[in-house]
Each structure stands twice: as structure tokens, then as C-alpha cells.
Amino acid sequence: MRKVLAIRDARIFLFGWTVSQFGDWAMIIVLGVWAKDLTDSNAAAGLVFFALAAPSLFSPLSGLLVDRLPRRRVMTWTYSAEALAMLSLLFVHDRGDVWLIYAVTVFYGAAGTFAASARSALMTVILPREML
């Protein structure tokens, strides 16, 4: 790990990704708590986590697509799309709007499969072959 952290680009990339993960998981927990608060249902909170995980079934397909595209651009577009999707949560006000939390979470999970594929592929560019 010290050899990896000795590479400036790898250090910046891993630091940024680590900070991003803290934010991602905090956001997912908040969405689950929000769904429970709106509906008074534990199942509604659980459905948020299912909605996040379900798109991972299609991650092999996203990997195939990402391999044909510029990795940094894929990551930039995915993170931008995730941020825009989060803005739609401003319209959630009562239990009738909880479907929007689910829709955004499914989209977030799907976008995450693209970002994860691009992130993995980008590491092959940042690190020398013998460190992979």
C-alpha cells in the first residue's frame, strides 16, 4: 500500500474516493431514515437499500459499456447525473412522495455501477502494471 500511496495520482484518487464514500453512505442512510419517517414503515426503509442494490445485477453490462468510453468522462457524467437526481428530492414532502426517494435511489445505484466500473478501469491507468 505504501508503494501505491507514493504515486501522487493514486494518492489523490484514493483520498477523493474515500471522502466520496463517506458522503455516499451517509446519504443512503439518510434516505432510508427519511423513507421510514415519512411512512412509519421499516419495510419502506429497507426498500431504499434494496433499490440501491438492485441495479448492481446489471453491473457486468455497465462494465462492458464503460470499457468502450473514456473513463474520466464516464465518472464526471455519472457523478453529475447523480447530483442532478438528488435535486429532485427537494420535491419530497409527504408519504405520497416516497416513490421519488425510491426512483432516485435506483438511479443512484445504476449510476454507481457505471462509476465503479470506470473507477476500477481508471486504476489500471494510474498504477503501473506490476502494482495491480
pLDDT tens-digit readout, 62-95:
999 999 999 889 999 999 999 999 999 999 999 9
In this prediction, residue 92 carries a pLDDT of 97
Q: Which three cell numbers stand for residue 108?
A: 443512484
Q: Which residue bears the cell 429497507?
A: 46
Task: Give exposure, 31-49, as e/b (b: 16+ Cβ within 10 Å).
Answer: bbebbbebbeeeebbebbb
The pLDDT assigned to 48 comes to 97
35-41 mean pLDDT: 97
Per the document, the length of the chain is 132
Mean residue pLDDT of the chain comes to: 93
Q: Which domain holds residue 26?
A: 2-131
The count of domains in the chain is 1
pLDDT-derived band at 1 (thresholds 50, 70, 90) equals: confident
